[in-house]
Structures are given as structure tokens and as C-alpha cells.
Chains A and B, each alone.
Chain A
Amino acid sequence: MSKMTLNIEGDTHIVVTRHFAAPPDVVYRAHTDPDLIQKWLLGPEGWTMPVCINEARPGGKFRYEWTNGKGHQFYITGEYLELVPHSRIVHVERMHLPDPTPDNHVETTFSAEGDGTLMRIRMTLPDAQTRQAMIKTGMEHGMEASYMRLEKMI
């Protein structure tokens, strides 16, 4: 029903879109209320977010810590640059593994679409090199070949 798209744009952007069956104010709240974030921003089964600090105001900081209960853990820190209630969030974030990755600049917008919401995330990586390095790693750890998927992508 709600198909997600994820594509690259230009040299340094990644764009994600997703439709949700809830109005923008509700989807926005699910992205800014730490109690709600803790329920869904978890990755695969088995991972939890024991620490979720989220100051959803311009200049506010956030820190999400994940663990899989088997000794693997990592965290993300970030700062909010701009928040327009129910329609727009701009923030920067980086992963700590524990060394920080380069900053990822993220703009998220929520707009009404039918009875629901169209969310659009536009990530800007610091330079083409970072995104390219990410892609190169994908090859390093090669998954199954899929030329069919390529056709859809291009």
C-alpha cells in the first residue's frame, strides 16, 4: 500500500519518500516525541533503543543509543537546525561507532496527501566521496547480483 522510494540525487543526496496513513501532525509527532521514536526507529528485530534523548527545538540536541543485547551497540548524535511544526524538520546527525562518521544533513518534510501524509527526506552527505565510499562498501560485502533492480533504479 505505502510504497517507499529511496534514490540518489546529484552527487551527494539521498532522497526517501514514504506515504503514511495518518495526518501530518501525527506523523510529525512520531518523529519528535522521544517516547514514540523509541517504538519504531529500531532497525531489525532484536534491537532496542534504551536511550532516546530528543530536544525537538531549533538548536536542540538528540542522542539515540541502540543495542542488540548481544554486545553490539552504537549511537547517533545530532542537532536540530529548524523545526516547523507538522511540516518540516532540518537536522544534522552523525553515527558514532565509536568514531563519528561525517555529518549527514537531513531535511524532512511532511505534507498532506489524501487522508494521509507524504513524507520526504532529503539527506545531504558532506561530499560525493562519502556517498561513494558507502556505495563501494556495498560491493565489498557483495550481495546477490540484480540487474533487474538496476533497471528500476535508473
Chain B
Amino acid sequence: MPCFIVDAYERYLTISIYLYKLNLMYSELVLDARFSALADPTRRAILAQLAKGEATVTELAKPFEMTQPAISQHLKVLEDAGLIDRRIEGTRRPRRLAKDGIEAMDQWLAMLRKAFEKNYNRLDKVLAEMEPNQKGRSK
């Protein structure tokens, strides 16, 4: 899908253009917390679990074999980082992924991957041409 690749690449460039502006515009603390939050394997597992659907503290505590206070502590870190939020349903407070926080990290990586993949697919062809003995497509 060439359109998508071009689009991704232009986003890649746009990133750099906005770097300085963004540094001024956004709170660094929020973003910093986002990455610290991901440094812990239990919290990554919680996010992966929530990617399948919302869950309450009790439901989350079960598969992780942790106490509810311990899970609540992890959930608080994730919530403060903007990676998850909670829905109010009577007395239940199911947690779910916070769309914006997750998308931000995911999208950026996806975009960067596209830009790199394009170059390396091209490099594959250059390498094949450099090795006349090697079996492969020549162009």
C-alpha cells in the first residue's frame, strides 16, 4: 500500500518538525510516567490483559496471583500514566485501556517501522546485486 507508506514517512518527518514545539507544549511528566509504567513486567501483563477487554481489580488479581492491594498499586501507576482509565458501573469500577495513551506509543512505533522496512527491502535488492554469485533476483 504505497499511499500508506508515503503517509507514514511524512509523519516521520513531521515528528522532527514538531519536536521543539511539542517539548514546550506538553507536560513532560505525563509522558515520562508512561514509560516508567511500562518498565514493570506485571504492568505490561496487566495492559496485555486489558487489551482483551475491561476487568475489575478482583478479576485482574486472579490470574496474576497477587493481592488486591498489590494489583491496585500497579493500576494506580498505570492510571497516573494515562495508560488506563476506569468506568463507573454501580459499585464496580472496571479498568480499561486508555485509548489515547496506548495509541500514542503504538502508532509512533508502527510509523517508524514502516519507514525502516521500506529502506531495508530496497537494501536487500542492492545486496543481491553486489553478489553476482548469489542466487536471487537481479534487476
Q: Please name all residues of chain A whose beta carbon is closer than 8 Å to the beta carbon of B102 when the two chains form the complex.
A: 147, 150
Q: How many A-B residue pairs have CB under 8 A?
A: 179
Q: In the complex, A153 Cα to B38 Cα: how many Å?
A: 11
**CB < 8 Å neighbour of A154 from B13, B47, B99, B126:** B47
Residue of A nearest to B120 (CB): A18
Q: Known: A11-B35, A44-B5, A150-B51. Is A143-B107 also a contact (CB below 8 A)?
A: yes
B19 touches A130 (CB 8 A): yes
Q: What is the minimal beta-carbon distance from A40 to any residue of chain B, in angstroms?
A: 4
The dominant DSSP class at the A interface is mixed
Contact-residue bracket for chain A = 35 or more
B residues 1-22 near A (Cβ < 8 Å) are 2, 5-6, 8-9, 11-20, 22
Q: Is the CB of A21 within 8 A of B35?
A: no
Q: CA–CA, A102 to B23, complex, Å?
A: 12
Let me know if A51 is at the binding interface, CB within 8 A. no
Inter-chain CA distance A80–B47, complex, in Å, is 40
* Complex interface: chain A residues within 8 A of B38 (CB): 154
| Residue from the list A6, A46, A132 in contact with B6, Cβ < 8 A | A46
A50 interfacial contact with B, CB 8 Å? no
Q: Nearest Cβ distance between residue A54 and chain B, in whole angstroms?
A: 15
Instruction: Decide: A145 and B99 in contact? CB cutoff 8 A.
Output: yes
Instruction: Count contacts on B: residues with CB < 8 A to the other chain.
Output: 60
CB contacts (< 8 Å) of A150 on chain B: these are: 47-48, 51, 97, 102, 105-106
Query: Is A62 close to B, CB under 8 A?
Result: no
| Contact pattern, A 1-25, Cβ under 8 Å of B = 1, otherwise 0 | 0101011100100101010111000
Q: Is A26 a contact of B106 with CB atoms below 8 Å?
A: no
Contact across chains for B103 and A45 when beta carbons are under 8 A apart: no
Binding site for A on B (CB under 8 A): 2, 5-6, 8-9, 11-20, 22-23, 26, 28, 31-32, 34-35, 38, 44, 47-48, 51, 97, 99-100, 102-113, 115-120, 122-128, 130-131, 134, 136
Instruction: Give 9 A-B contacts (CB < 8 Å), ordered by A residue.
Output: A26-B131, A47-B9, A102-B19, A128-B28, A132-B35, A133-B31, A137-B22, A138-B15, A142-B107
